[in-house]
Amino acid sequence: MEIIIQPTAAVASGIAARLVARLLREKPSAVLGLATGNTPRMLYQELARRKLEWSKVTTFDLDEYVGLPPEHPGSYYQFMRENLFRHVNVTPANIHVPDGMTKDIPGFCAHYEQAIRAAGGIDLQVLGIGSDGHIGFNEPTSSLSSRTRIKTLTAQTRRDNSKFFECEADVPHHVITMGIGTILEARQIVLLAFGEQKAQAIAQAVEGPISAMCPASVLQLHPDTKVFLDEAASRLLTKVDYYRWVYDNKPDWQKTSGP
């Protein structure tokens, strides 16, 4: 796990965008796993600005609310459309978002897992982190080997996500989410966390024990995870100086380079 601390969310997002852009240049048919929410907005804006070639890229969204049709303004399909898909030349048939309106949730979840396998697996997975340490919608106590499935949201997560709805009561109680085991199979993971409200979760995920009580802590086991933080999100980490030193003194071949 590499911890990359930058002065602001914008700077951190720009460096993360360089990493994704390099993958798309090196592998035009890359498979991306995409997160939603406020955290990755700047990353997606930066990727759109770069005018990259997306026509052969395949995408899989992490999650979707159960009971929301794609056209609902609070759906994650609409989020991705507005924040990325309509700004790049991604092929519509290559976009995969969980179906919140499916009548057969277990069957759909099995199909989603098969679709990921059929695409060759996820090359790079973008993640945010919840204030309680969840990734995707894998809430605390989720199995660390879980697969795509339905999950019930905690009261805290529903409060956190109420800003995307008219009121908290409108936030659905259930979601379809990729599982933690599914996420761990991505060849590379980029986790973004910005703001003081994420500091405790980041401290637990990066420097705490691996525990289902902080699902993001399982990323300590992943062979290639990069964690992009602003100053505020890093404030509770105990080894900040070491993380900065490592990033500043990487050999040239390891550095995230390119425009």
Q: For position 164, what pLDDT does the model report?
A: 80
- Whether 139 sits among the annotated catalytic residues: the reply is yes
- In the numeric block, which tokens belong to residue 201? 């979760």
Which residue is catalytic, options 61, 64, 113, 139? 139
| Strand duo 149-152 + 225-230: pairing | unpaired
Count CB-CB contacts under 10 A for residue 182.
26
- Whether 132 sits among the annotated catalytic residues: the reply is yes
CB 125 within 8 A of CB 33: yes
Which residue is catalytic, options 63, 99, 113, 160? 63
- In the numeric block, which tokens belong to residue 258? 């390119």
Q: For position 120, what pLDDT does the model report?
A: 98
Q: For position 256, what pLDDT does the model report?
A: 63
Adjacency order of strands within the sheet including 31-34: 2-6, 225-230, 188-193, 124-127, 31-34, 58-61, 95-96
Cα separation, 257 vs 23, in Å, equals 11
- Whether 134 sits among the annotated catalytic residues: the reply is yes
Determine the distance from the C-alpha atom of residue 18 to the mean position of all C-alpha atoms in its chain, rounded to a whole number: 16
Q: What is the pLDDT of residues 173-206, one digit of tens each?
A: 999 999 999 999 999 999 999 999 999 999 999 9
Cα separation, 29 vs 21, in Å, equals 12
Average pLDDT over residues 202-213: 98
Alpha helices by DSSP H, listed for 36-130, are: 41-49, 76-83, 105-118
Mean pLDDT (the chain, rounded) = 95
Q: For position 28, what pLDDT does the model report?
A: 98
Average pLDDT over residues 69-87: 94
Sign of CA dihedral 65, 68, 70, 73: negative
CB 67 within 8 A of CB 101: yes
Which residue is catalytic, options 61, 99, 132, 230? 132
- In the numeric block, which tokens belong to residue 79? 């989020």
- Whether 241 sits among the annotated catalytic residues: the reply is no
Q: For position 238, what pLDDT does the model report?
A: 98
Counting residues of the chain whose pLDDT is more than 90, the rounded percentage is: 87
Work out the burial of residue 231: count CB atoms within 10 Å of its CB; fewer than 13 is exposed, 13-18 middle, 19 or more buried: middle
Q: For position 90, what pLDDT does the model report?
A: 98
CB 18 within 8 A of CB 228: no
Q: For position 259, what pLDDT does the model report?
A: 61
Q: Which residues pair with 189 in a beta bridge?
A: 125, 225
What residue ranges define each of the domains in the chain, with the CATH number in brackets? Answer: 2-236 (3.40.50.1360)
Work out the burial of residue 139: count CB atoms within 10 Å of its CB; fewer than 13 is exposed, 13-18 middle, 19 or more buried: buried
Among the residue ranges 88-92, 102-106, 164-168, 230-234, the one predicted with the least confidence is 164-168
